[in-house]
């Protein structure tokens, strides 16, 4: 090719634009129109091949350079991320155990506070029962006091706060999260069919290959299979 890259690029762009306009303006009414559209189709395929031939080597070179940068980046980052995850895992396990201990302590304190309030309430009720005949007014006062008895709020001192400011100047905040694992695909699909799980949570793959392999046609298994055709062009 004797043209410079600038001339090459300009020629390709001009021819490409002309073909695009021709293709968009073409209406197929007769066999002659259909044949003309076939010629345009081949011309578009040829220009596409030229554009690809022009850009692909540059893209491949850039991609190789980008991949090398990415590989070096990942190589340097990998041990840091592995250590980060190991350290985070240790902290997470310890934190969750402390949370379990705190919950147990909190439940114990709440139970003790509830029992204490129940005992106090029962003493007042017993006194009211004893005073009911002797002094009904005092008995009524005691009943009111019994109704007013509630357990005092109790709180366990936290070992790890939600957000901790570090001496280095940063801070670490614990965020509650969950992990979801599919243990039964059938059960999940049933839940989707019943509307318990939204359809946009499901990703369908390889349906075209499956339908071709099984020669499925029409509406089957919730799929609408429509036969179509596409051109295979040789330039």
Alpha carbon distances (Å) from 15 to 25, 37, 46: 15, 16, 11
Asked if residue 127 lies in contact with residue 142, where contact means CB atoms within 8 angstroms, the answer is: yes
Indicate whether 235 belongs to any domain.
no
Residue 13's pLDDT band (cuts 50, 70, 90): confident
| b/e sequence 126-136, b meaning 16+ C-beta within 10 Å | ebbeebeeeee
Angle in degrees, CA 144, 146, 148, rounded to 5: 70
Asked if residue 172 lies in contact with residue 184, where contact means CB atoms within 8 angstroms, the answer is: no
Task: Tally the domains of the chain.
Answer: 1
- Quote the CA–CA distance of 180 and 183 in Å, as a whole number: 9
Give the percent of the chain with pLDDT over 70: 96
pLDDT computed for residue 8 by the predictor: 59
Segment 67-119, tens digit of pLDDT: 999 999 999 999 999 999 999 999 999 999 999 999 999 999 999 999 999 99
Does pTM top 0.75 for this prediction?
no
pLDDT computed for residue 1 by the predictor: 38
Mean pLDDT of 184-194: 93
Residue 31's pLDDT band (cuts 50, 70, 90): very high
Q: Domain of residue 196: give its range.
A: 185-226
> Is residue 186 over pLDDT 80?
yes
> Is residue 4 over pLDDT 50?
no
Mean pLDDT of 58-71: 96
What's the burial of 37, exposed, middle or buried (CB within 10 Å: 0-12/13-18/19+)?
A: middle
Indicate whether 49 belongs to any domain.
no
pLDDT computed for residue 2 by the predictor: 40
Sequence-separated contacts (24+) of 172-178 with Cβ below 8 Å: 174/95
Segment 134-176, tens digit of pLDDT: 888 888 888 898 889 888 898 898 888 889 888 888 999 999 8
Q: Which residues pair with 223 in a beta bridge?
A: 220
- Quote the CA–CA distance of 50 and 47 in Å, as a whole number: 5
Closest CA to 41 of 58, 54, 52, 28: 28
What's the burial of 142, exposed, middle or buried (CB within 10 Å: 0-12/13-18/19+)?
A: buried
Indicate whether 206 belongs to any domain.
yes
For the ranges 50-64, 76-90, 130-144, 181-195, which has the lowest average pLDDT? 130-144
pLDDT computed for residue 6 by the predictor: 52
Indicate whether 177 belongs to any domain.
no
Indicate whether 132 belongs to any domain.
no
């Amino acid at each position: 090719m004797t043209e410079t890259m600038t001339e090459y690029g300009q020629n390709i762009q001009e021819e490409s634009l002309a073909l695009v306009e021709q293709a968009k303006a073409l209406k197929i009414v007769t066999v002659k129109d259909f044949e003309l559209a076939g010629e345009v189709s081949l011309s578009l395929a040829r220009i596409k091949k030229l554009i690809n031939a022009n850009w692909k080597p540059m893209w491949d070179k850039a991609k190789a350079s980008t991949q090398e940068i990415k590989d070096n980046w990942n190589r340097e980052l990998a041990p840091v991320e592995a250590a980060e995850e190991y350290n985070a895992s240790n902290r997470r396990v310890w934190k969750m155990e402390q949370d379990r201990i705190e919950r147990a302590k909190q439940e114990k304190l709440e139970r003790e506070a509830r029992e204490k309030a129940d005992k106090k309430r029962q003493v007042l009720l017993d006194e009211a029962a004893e005073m009911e005949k002797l002094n009904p007014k005092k008995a009524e006062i005691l009943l009111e006091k019994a109704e007013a008895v509630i357990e005092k709020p109790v709180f366990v001192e936290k070992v790890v706060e939600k957000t901790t400011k570090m001496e280095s100047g940063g801070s670490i905040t614990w965020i509650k999260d969950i992990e979801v694992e599919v243990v039964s695909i059938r059960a999940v699909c049933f839940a989707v069919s019943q509307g318990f799980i939204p359809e946009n949570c499901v990703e369908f793959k390889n349906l075209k290959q499956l339908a071709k392999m099984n020669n499925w046609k029409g509406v089957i298994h919730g799929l609408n299979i429509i036969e179509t055709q596409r051109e295979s062009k040789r330039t």
